[in-house]
């Protein structure tokens, strides 16, 4: 090899080394920028700036297609920005990747659950939660999700099974929730006019918790709708024995039933028993007073109202009831004074309001149709 060739080969070698350094330097800069963009994207998610997070994470996945976590977080950012459809597409496409680790697969499943929840597809959310349980039987995140998802889709038996495996120390609450979930299964049958079948389910609910009043109420309702008023009264009595403090909404129906059976005199006895158990419920006091009025016993009616005067001071309905009774007695001036006190008030329609989510219902409920929580209407 000549001296010129040796020199040329050396120059070429130096140039190649120089080019290699340039390429490696560029790759390092791109890699550093990708890592920095990923960290910035995560920070934007933490701070709730999802639009900027999406821009940063799209930059990352365009340059590092193997970054599974960046794809997951990109979908999360889309969902939190209010676009769960995009999130669902991203997270579903990740399932086609090979060699996903168990943790990566679980994280994708968790995001799919929340994607479907945001899309109001609770049934699909349940299915992905159950897939998580198949992989990790002790996964508390999935169990906690199913705690609300099973009731939301009407999977009452599965909800009960989940309760049985719950680590809750309050066994009484687990029993009551199980009873109400089973009761909810019977409500569909009741709505469909399958009264006998609904009662069979309600009686199973009682076996979960005999102190839960709700199944007793709906057994009575099934008999009432079937025209078997005497049987309905038997179960209403059982309901009142268990839960007298939740009886005021039932009073008018009881009055009507007893009247139809020719047992109207028993109404007064019923109200007096309830007042003994819950003397602070002015609605029962008013019902007893109005019962006496219907019987023509105006003095006894006024006496009932006056006996509990301290408890109802300021209660418009009680004051109007007393004024009405005073008019019947001919004491017009006193009646006028009472009516003046409540002139600006009006008797509004009573609603049962869920303490958890604010849902309003004209009917008594033990499980909220909206948030599916129990015992929030009393």
Structure tokens, 203:
């009686």
Query: Cβ–Cβ contacts within 10 Å for residue 223, how many?
Result: 20
- Selection from 208, 196, 202, 226 nearest residue 164 by Cα: 208
Residues 6+ apart with CB under 8 A from 138: none
Q: Yes or no: say if 151 and 184 are a contact pair by the CB < 8 Å rule.
A: yes
Specify the residue for token string 């025209």.
227
Residue 374: strand pairing partners: 367
Dihedral pair phi/psi, residue 352, rounded to 5°: -95, 125
> How many CB atoms are closer than 10 A to CB 145?
20
- Where b means 16+ CB within 10 Å and e means fewer, 316-327 reads bebbbbbbbbbb
Question: Directed axis angle between helix 122-135 and helix 140-153, to 10°?
Answer: 150
Mind listing the pLDDT tens digit of every residue in the chain (378 residues)? 565 555 455 555 555 555 554 444 444 444 567 888 889 889 999 999 999 999 999 999 998 889 999 999 999 999 999 999 999 999 999 999 988 999 999 999 999 999 999 999 999 999 999 999 999 988 999 999 998 999 999 999 999 998 888 766 567 788 999 999 999 999 999 999 999 999 999 999 999 999 999 999 999 999 999 999 999 999 999 999 898 888 888 888 888 888 888 888 888 888 888 888 887 788 888 888 888 888 888 888 888 888 877 666 667 777 778 778 878 888 888 777 777 776 655 545 577 899 999 998 988 889 998 888 899 887
Element (H, E) at 329: helix 316-329
pTM surpassing 0.75?
no
In contact, 166 and 174? CB cutoff 8 Å? yes
Residue labelled with tokens 């039933």: 257
Task: Report the 10 Å Cβ neighbour count for 60.
Answer: 24
Which residues does 103 contact at the CB level (< 8 Å), separation at least 6? none
Strand partners of residue 361:
352
CB-based contacts of 69: which residues, under 8 Å, 6+ apart? Answer: 104, 107
Level-2 CATH architecture, domain 30-151: Alpha Horseshoe (1.25)
Q: 228 with 209: CB under 8 angstroms?
A: no
> Which residue, 344, 347, 373, 339, is CA-closest to 358?
373
Residue 161 in tokens: 């099974």
Residue with tokens 């599916």: 372
- Tally of CB atoms within 10 A around 86: 17
State the number of CA atoms in the 13 A half-sphere of 52 facing the CB: 12
Q: Which bin fits 41, alpha (ψ -120 to 50), beta or left (φ > 0)? A: alpha
- With H, G, I as helix, E, B as strand and everything else as coil, classify residue 196: helix
């Amino acid at each position: 090899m000549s001296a010129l060739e040796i020199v040329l080969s050396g120059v070429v070698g130096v140039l190649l080394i120089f080019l290699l350094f340039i390429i490696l330097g560029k790759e390092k800069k791109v890699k550093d920028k990708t890592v920095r963009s990923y960290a910035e994207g995560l920070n934007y998610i933490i701070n709730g700036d999802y639009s900027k997070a999406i821009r940063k994470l799209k930059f990352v996945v365009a340059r590092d297609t193997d970054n599974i976590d960046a794809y997951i977080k990109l979908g999360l950012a889309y969902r939190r920005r209010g676009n769960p459809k995009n999130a669902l597409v991203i997270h579903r496409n990740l399932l086609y990747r090979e060699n996903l680790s168990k943790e990566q697969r679980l994280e994708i499943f968790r995001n799919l659950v929340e994607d479907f929840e945001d899309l109001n597809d609770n049934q699909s959310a349940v299915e992905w939660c159950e897939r998580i349980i198949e992989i990790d039987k002790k996964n508390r995140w999935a169990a906690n999700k199913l705690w609300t998802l099973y009731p939301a889709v009407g999977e009452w038996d599965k909800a009960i099974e989940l309760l049985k495996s719950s680590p809750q120390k309050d066994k009484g609450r687990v029993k009551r929730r199980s009873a109400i979930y089973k009761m909810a299964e019977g409500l569909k049958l009741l709505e469909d006019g399958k009264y006998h079948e609904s009662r069979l389910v309600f009686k199973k609910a009682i076996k979960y918790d005999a102190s839960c009043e709700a199944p007793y109420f709906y057994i009575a309702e099934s008999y009432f709708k079937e025209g078997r008023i005497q049987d309905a009264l038997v179960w209403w009595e059982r309901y009142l024995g268990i839960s007298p403090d939740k009886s005021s909404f039932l009073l008018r129906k009881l009055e009507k039933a007893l009247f139809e059976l020719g047992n109207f005199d028993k109404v007064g006895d019923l109200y007096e028993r309830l007042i003994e158990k819950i003397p602070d419920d002015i609605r029962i006091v008013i019902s007893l007073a109005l019962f006496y009025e219907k019987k023509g016993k105006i003095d006894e009616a006024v006496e009932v109202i006056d006996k509990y005067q301290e408890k109802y001071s300021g209660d418009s309905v009680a004051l109007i009831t007393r004024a009405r009774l005073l008019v019947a007695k001919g004491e017009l001036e006193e009646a006028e004074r009472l009516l003046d006190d409540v002139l600006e008030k009006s008797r509004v329609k009573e609603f049962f309001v869920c303490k958890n989510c604010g849902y309003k219902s004209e009917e008594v409920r033990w499980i909220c149709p909206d948030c599916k929580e129990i015992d929030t209407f009393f």
